[in-house]
Amino acid sequence: MGNREALLAGAKTCLLEKGFDRTSARDIATTAGVSLAAIGYHFGSRENLLFQALFAILDEWGDLSGRVLVPPAEPGMTPAQAYERMWDELLAQVREHPRMWLASVELFMQAQRQPDLMPHLSDGIRQGRSGMAGILTSTPEADVEDRTARTLGMLQVALMSGVVIQMLADPEHPPTGADVVAGLRALGKIVQ
């Protein structure tokens, strides 16, 4: 592994352990086992390195969660049962890797302070909406209509964000897939 890769791996480790604001350039260099000057040479600044590491973490999280979001194709399973199972599997992944989810919250916070990050965040949100709509409608992401991504995809992303934040904030009383489905059914009665 070269210095660049070692720095990226070190930055990811530090982000997950300490968060963005508490990670120093020295922390990253020490974790990576390379000189402090290598950060400037390969990435220009601590911030640029941390942003690249943060995006790499989010890509890993996307790959991990994407595998559990595809509804299982079991004979006799209703769409509601598949949706509930999808939620249970997603929440299990969050319990197993909570710091990966927290990295996405950290990106949102950093984008508020660093306007040049906002286009990347916005692009990621649009991709997430489209991906969620594609998964839920069993449509290839490239074929998802803009309106479906904007409505169904937006709602699913909002649900995921909110449910996961509640789970992380109150781990003693975590929501379940059944809770999400029951809540959506109750909401459906209100908005009919």
pLDDT digit string, tens, across residues 59-79:
777 766 666 666 556 788 888
Do residues 11 and 66 both lie within one domain?
no
CATH (domain of 14)? 1.10.10.60
Domain that holds residue 60: 47-191
Same-domain status, 37 and 73: no
Q: What are the residues whose beta carbons fall under 8 Å from the beta carbon of 67, sequence distance 6 or more?
A: none
81 with 35, same domain: the answer is no
Same domain, yes or no: 57 and 127: yes
| Same domain membership, residue 51 and residue 37 | no
pLDDT computed for residue 72 by the predictor: 57
Is the sign of the CA dihedral 72, 78, 80, 84 positive or negative? Answer: negative
Give me the helix-helix angle, 118-137 and 46-69, nearest 10°: 10
The pLDDT of residue 82 is: 87
* 8 A C-beta contact, residue 149 and residue 130: yes
Task: Mention every residue, 6+ apart, whose C-beta is less than 8 A from residue 186.
Answer: none
In terms of C-beta density within 10 A (0-12 exposed, 13-18 middle, 19 or more buried), how is residue 141 classed?
middle
With a cut of 50, list the residues of the chain below it in pLDDT: none
Residues 21 and 79 in one domain: no
pLDDT for residue 58: 76
The answer to whether residues 67 and 89 belong to one domain is yes
Which of helix, strand or coil describes residue 140?
coil
Residue 77 and residue 28 share a domain? no
Q: Are residues 52 and 37 in the same domain?
A: no
pLDDT at 7: 95
154 and 103 in one domain? Answer: yes
Does residue 52 share a domain with residue 32? no
Instruction: Judge if 154 and 179 occupy the same domain.
Output: yes
pLDDT at residue 125 in the model: 87
Distance of CA 85 to the CA centre of its chain: 19
